Chain A
Amino acid sequence: MSMTILTVDDSRTMREMLRLALTGAGFRVVQAEDGLHGLEVLAEEARTPDVIVTDINMPRLDGFGFIEEVRGDGRYRGVPILVLTTESDAEKKTRARMAGATGWIVKPFNPDQLVGAIRRVAA
């Protein structure tokens, strides 16, 4: 009964870190490289991911825009979205929350923190 996590990050390094940590915790991982790609992957996936983890600073469509798009789509409005970013200032978090983010993970994270944050927002 593994959960599916969609991660959206433009950095290959970060994608690999996420994949390592999440698969290590037994999750199924699908990945996208920016917001637009994230929406494509979301549309391709037969089953809505249990949690979405997204970066903020990305080309084409940034994290804020991505979250708004996801939340604006009736199918995904309840999906927990965690924002993954090095920004720890309140302003970025507030903006992400305004867009509809569920929570956040501050980079650099360790796998336990990541999995802990996911556990807090998903069954």
Chain B
Amino acid sequence: MAVDPLAEIKVTFFQECEEQLAELESGLLAMEGGDTDGETINAVFRAVHSIKGGAGAFGLEDLIRFAHVFETALDEMRSGRLAPDPETLKVMLRAADVLADLVRAGRDGSAVDEALAQSLGDALRGLCGGDGDEGGEDDSGDFDFQPVAATEPKAPGAWRIRFRPRGDLYARGNEAGLLLRELARLGPCEVELDVSELPPLADLDPEGAYLAWTVILTAEVEQAAIAQVFEFVDGDCELEIGPVDGEAAGEPEPAMDVSALLARIQSDSPAAAEAVCEPAAAPDAAPVETATRAEPPGSQGAANSNATGATIRVDLDRVDRLIDLVGELVINQAMLSQRVMEAGLARASSVAMGLDELEQLTREIQDSVMAIRAQPVKSVFQRMPRLAREVAALTGKPVRLVTEGETTEVDKTVIERLADPLTHMIRNAIDHGLESPEARAAAGKPAEGVVRLSAAHRSGRIVIEVSDDGGGIDRTRVRAIAIERGVIAPDAVLSDEETDNLIFMPGFSTASTVSDISGRGVGMDVVRRSIQTLGGRISISSRPGQGSTFTMSLPLTLAVLDGMVVTAEGQTLVAPLTAVVETLQPRPDDIQGLGAGGRVMAIRGVYTPVIDVGVALGYRDRPREQASVALLVEGEDGTQAALMVDQILGQRQVVIKSLEANYRQVPGVAAATILGDGRVALILDIDTIVAASRGAEPVRSERLQAAAG
């Protein structure tokens, strides 16, 4: 275990920073929304304060400096000297973004926009009335707190320290004896106890302080070092520190042995109530029952979990391992069921019934384990307000981002991979979706555009919507661009919906200039592709003048899948059920040849391309002639095709095993699974197969119309 504990703490620190940054932002947003609760600003202050504290521990100077300025401004606001008006909060929100950048810079060594940090630092200082409280230097010091009396250029060889505690010293938990012990660490001490103030026992206040000491310290130390010993009791005692001059040094007083003195003090109450010397206990015998006491096992853990509620932090690897094992369990259970079936046992036999129960339990375990990986989409949603602010600033369009359903849970992997497509869609919604403020005013809309981001569970999937209240898709223009770029034929007849969906076509961009906001070299086709790799689909609905809504529907997990088990040329394959529209048994004359090697099938009057799965995956060279079964599948873009297979075995839930991780990527194959009989089956990547069969032709309707016409 040669792990550097500090490095581990640093990891914790950055995790905690992320939480605090989130808290900071949501707090500031709440205040922007009119939250005047004192606890909100306190929480915001604490977040920045904590980041600064941790940054100090790891010497992240830039972060400390900026956090300090930020903290100072927040402190002004907390104490009511700075009003949380919209302008101020705007600066604070931007500052929170810079703080986040600095945290990430500290973590990953990424670059920070120095100019931005500088300008926001200045803006924050401006908020505090401009008195430049520069940087956190004052906090980085050590114990030198009090201004120490002028130190001699050369330390004298001996010091005389007169020390008379007041009652407060003891009341605050300080101990004269410990201070004397500290002095003794500096050098040999001669200690004289002054009991002259001690009253008769009857008049003695048990909590009073009556003793005083004079210590002759023989050591060449700075006066500051001595003063530091008494740092904590400054003000709670009379203290004189001075060099021993010849006269004083030559006056040997009946000094007491320090260790004996310590022992005596330790054995007494802090209130120094002793009138006469009690028998001195040996120093190490003094403190009472200690180390041997067994720690109540787990007491710390229990104490900690009290406050954190009922959450624990677990390494993701452990959860994944568990998920993997449960996957194996599901497979094993399926195998067992199959064996029992094969053994010819009656369905009502006790073995079969027990097995049914086992199956249910397995399912429940699987669901529960999956739930561990599920996380609220909040973690990705909360990155979006910042993005919206930035894009709003760049485009000059005032935007309000409304988020809904942040607590909706979905698998962690899905969440992680959602960030990029969502980022792009929010950008698009503001840059392309919303009109300019002037155009909005002309259309009678409020100048501030609204972009809505929502998440909800719907029939076992998560549905995420990004909508704007902008002008909607400009279909005439989309069509013109599509024709200009050769995406569709000039005479193609498309429904409104089909036109809207053109924006998902590769290389399509409705912006007439490639702006630096949306035009990052990726278009909606990339968004669609990344959603598809998650087993999801995306669609758009748009109403002219009222805005557009992008709807994404994603599976809740990437670990299991409902599939249709089929065979082709003796191979067992799984088609994801989400892609299967229906199963068909075509008559031989339903299928017609089209061009060289192409085949189409008429399904309720519509010609649909036919793909022989065996050929597509390279199991055979030419399509099977005799009648087989077809799956009507639909790609994520709504493209349909008929997949010819030899046999349909049934429908079942399968555990997804990555083919890439265990073998390598294979075109047309999304992943693999292990079936109940122990055989490995490949899970088909319907989109790739359909796309490959279409060749370069991107739009189905056109080709089909040509075929039909």
Residues of A within 8 A of B (CB): 1-3, 10-14, 16-17, 20, 28-34, 37, 40-41, 44-47, 57-59, 71, 77-81, 86-90, 93, 97, 100-104, 106-109, 113, 117, 119-123
Contacts and interface: CB of A to CB of B under 8 A. Distances in A.
A10 B46 contact: yes
Given A13-B54, A17-B57, A31 B300 contact: yes
A88 B139 contact: yes
B52 interface: yes
Interface in B39-87: 39, 42-43, 45-46, 49-50, 52-54, 56-57, 59
A120 B178 contact: yes
A106 B286 CA distance: 31
Interface centre among A44, A88, A97, A101 (most CB of B within 10 A): A88
A119 B171 CA distance: 18
B307 interface: yes
B299 A113 contact: no
B43 A59 contact: yes
14 contacts: A1-B284, A1-B287, A12-B16, A13-B54, A14-B50, A16-B9, A17-B9, A28-B291, A30-B299, A32-B307, A45-B299, A57-B45, A59-B42, A100-B171
Contacts of A20: 5-6, 9
B293 interface: yes
Contacts of A14: 50, 53-54, 57
Contact of B172 (A3, A45, A100): A100
Given A120-B179, A121-B232, A13 B307 contact: no
Interface stretch (B141-149, B435-443, B537-545): B141-149
A81 B43 CA distance: 24
Contacts of A101: 172
B145 A88 contact: yes
Interface of B is mostly: helix
A49 to B, nearest CB: 12
Contacts of A37: 303, 306-307
B173 interface: yes
Interface residues on B, range: 35 or more
Contacts of B299: 30, 44-45
A12 to B, nearest CB: 5
A26 to B, nearest CB: 10
Nearest to B39: A59
A11 B172 contact: no
B308 interface: yes
Interface in B1-25: 5-6, 8-9, 12-13, 15-16
Contacts of B179: 120
Contacts of A44: 299, 303
B174 A40 contact: no
B57 A123 contact: no
B301 to A, nearest CB: 10
Interface string B166-188: 00001111110011001000000
Given A11-B16, A113-B142, A121-B174, A107 B232 contact: no
A32 B43 CA distance: 18
A89 B231 CA distance: 14
Nearest to A79: B173
Interface in B426-448: none
Nearest to A89: B138
B46 A58 contact: yes
A1 B170 CA distance: 24
Contacts of B308: 33
A20 B7 CA distance: 12
A122 B42 CA distance: 33
B608 interface: no
B419 to A, nearest CB: 24
B304 A33 contact: yes
Contacts of A123: 175, 178, 266, 286-287
Nearest to B71: A86
A40 B16 contact: no
B140 interface: yes
Contacts of B170: 78
Contacts of B138: 88-89
Nearest to B177: A123
5 A-B pairs closest in CB distance: A103-B232, A108-B56, A102-B173, A13-B13, A80-B173
A106 B139 contact: yes
Contacts of B57: 13-14, 17, 107-108
Contacts of B27: none
A32 B9 contact: no
Nearest to A58: B46
Given A13-B54, A57-B46, A80-B174, 20 more contacts: A1-B291, A2-B291, A11-B50, A13-B16, A17-B57, A37-B307, A44-B299, A46-B293, A59-B42, A78-B173, A86-B49, A88-B141, A101-B172, A102-B172, A102-B174, A103-B174, A103-B231, A104-B145, A108-B56, A113-B142
Contacts of B287: 1, 123
Contacts of B293: 46-47
Interface in B138-162: 138-143, 145
A102 B179 CA distance: 12
Nearest to B58: A108
Contacts of A32: 303, 307
Contact of A86 (B13, B56, B270): B56
A73 to B, nearest CB: 13
B113 interface: no
A106 B52 contact: no
Nearest to A20: B5
